[in-house]
């Protein structure tokens, strides 16, 4: 795993994957990204292409319909997609790390057999319903409830900001719900699989968002939704704790996306700075521009090193919580800072939606919020330091 710490020395299988996804991003994703962004449409044709490449099954074993790879392979793919379109990258990231991974990590053999093959193939998408108007980082604020009645869970409540929850190919949403109280009187939170189309489960109209326009995001409501008792995912009362471990892994994947964004902004600026002339010479010959881009490259490199390190720890079975939080913190800030600087390098053109840097500028802010805010990452890092 130490070889992962240098992007110039990726093992052959990862480098081959990187080049394949890079080509796909350039030739398939990039040409339609602006159109989907402008029209706020979900890129079904791109998702089908990713499914055909096996990207949704990268970290899952072949016995469950996966590609037999690992989490780092997923991250390599996410970085390349993040360079050109964050919406597509996040569709893959959420489908794998939030939709399918909880079932793989905590599901019974029956649940894995029932759900994983179609999720790993990319033919269907999974989502995870955690956040509520008063609950996200604060598990104690969870108000969605589930009670057992004649062998069925009866679920009532609502969720918000749920990715991949309302597409035509959404198969299920796993939701956190209060299923009782602990011995100390705290809420017992469990996770339950709710198939799409279950009576009482309503996908509300999509949000009007600042960015990630081609990513599917909806609020959800549950009105006496009934699912079999066997749809409990993991042990009762372990739902939130299990999902925290999923978030630790997911932060590495988010960091890979952020790294891709940061590097994509560098690549766009280098090209533009060589082509755009002002006062008789390319603007890249001006030290102010050159230094700005050099600093952007340094951010991207630091971000990559951070998520490579976290992935190496994770796959070697070592504690990686702090490293994952550092990677998520560094990469999300690098993406936002580089997007801002790239917009400045492009000048007026950088404010036009037809340019990729403009989309990155709108899209990048959510990287500092989703799957654990910057403040949560700082809290986790400080806690790991014993503070």
Res 4 pLDDT > 90: no
Q: Which of residues 334 and 138 earns the better pLDDT score?
A: 334
Segment 351-378 shows an average pLDDT of 95
- The Cα 111–Cα 116 span in angstroms is 8
Closest CA to 67 of 46, 78, 51, 80: 51
Q: What pLDDT digit, counting tens, does each position of 22-69 carry?
A: 999 999 999 999 999 999 999 999 999 999 999 999 999 999 999 999
Burial class (CB in 10 A: 0-12, 13-18, 19+), 315: middle
In the prediction, which pLDDT does 3 show? 45
Q: What pLDDT digit, counting tens, does each position of 91-124 carry?
A: 999 999 999 999 999 999 999 999 999 999 999 9
Res 5 pLDDT > 70: no
Q: Does the reported pTM lie above 0.85? A: yes
- The Cα 238–Cα 248 span in angstroms is 16
Q: What pLDDT digit, counting tens, does each position of 282-324 carry?
A: 999 999 999 999 999 999 999 999 999 999 999 999 999 999 9
DSSP classification of residue 205: P
Domains for the chain: give ranges and CATH numbers: 2-125 (1.10.540.10), 126-237 (2.40.110.10), 241-384 (1.20.140.10)
Please state whether beta strands 152-163 and 187-195 pair in parallel, antiparallel, or not at all (unpaired): unpaired
Segment 239-257 shows an average pLDDT of 92
In the prediction, which pLDDT does 8 show? 58
Range with the poorest average pLDDT among 273-277, 300-304, 351-355:
351-355
Give the residues across from 282 on adjacent strands.
Answer: 277
Pair 247, 191: CB distance under 8 Å = no
In the prediction, which pLDDT does 184 show? 80
Give the residues across from 133 on adjacent strands.
Answer: none
* Tokens found for residue 328: 């998520």
Q: Which residues are tagged catalytic?
A: 371
């Amino acid at each position: 795993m130490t070889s992962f710490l240098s992007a110039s020395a990726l093992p052959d299988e990862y480098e081959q994957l990187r080049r394949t996804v890079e080509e796909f991003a350039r030739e398939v994703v990039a040409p339609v990204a602006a159109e989907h962004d402008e029209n706020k449409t979900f890129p079904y044709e791109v998702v089908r292409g990713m499914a055909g490449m096996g990207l949704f099954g990268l970290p899952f074993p072949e016995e469950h319909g996966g590609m037999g790879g690992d989490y780092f392979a997923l991250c390599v793919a996410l970085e390349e997609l993040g360079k050109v379109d964050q919406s597509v990258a996040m569709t893959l990231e959420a489908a794998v790390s939030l939709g399918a991974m909880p079932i793989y990590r905590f599901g019974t053999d029956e649940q894995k057999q029932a759900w994983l093959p179609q999720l790993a193939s990319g033919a269907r998408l999974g989502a995870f319903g955690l956040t509520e108007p008063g609950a996200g980082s604060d598990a104690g604020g969870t108000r969605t409830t589930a009670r057992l009645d004649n062998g069925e869970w009866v679920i009532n409540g609502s969720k918000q900001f749920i990715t991949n929850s309302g597409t035509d190919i959404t198969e299920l949403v796993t939701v956190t719900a209060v299923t009782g109280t602990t011995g100390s009187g705290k809420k017992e939170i469990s996770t339950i699989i709710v198939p799409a189309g279950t009576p009482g489960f309503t996908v509300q109209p999509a949000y009007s968002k600042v960015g990630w326009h081609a990513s599917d995001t909806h609020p959800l409501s549950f009105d006496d939704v009934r699912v079999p008792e066997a749809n409990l995912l993991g042990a009762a009362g372990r739902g939130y704790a299990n999902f925290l471990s999923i978030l630790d892994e997911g932060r590495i994947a988010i960091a890979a996306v952020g790294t891709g964004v940061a590097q994509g902004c560098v690549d766009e600026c280098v090209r533009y700075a060589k082509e755009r002339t002002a006062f008789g010479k390319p603007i890249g010959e001006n030290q102010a521009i050159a230094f700005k881009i050099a600093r952007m490259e340094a951010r991207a490199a630091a971000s990559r090193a951070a998520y490579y390190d976290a992935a190496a720890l994770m796959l070697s079975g070592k504690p990686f919580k702090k490293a994952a939080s550092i990677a998520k913190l560094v990469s999300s800030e690098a993406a936002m800072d580089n997007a801002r600087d790239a917009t400045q390098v492009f000048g007026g053109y950088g404010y036009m939606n037809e340019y990729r840097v403009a989309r990155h500028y709108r899209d990048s802010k959510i990287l500092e919020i989703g799957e654990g805010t910057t403040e949560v990452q700082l809290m986790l890092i400080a806690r790991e330091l014993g503070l």
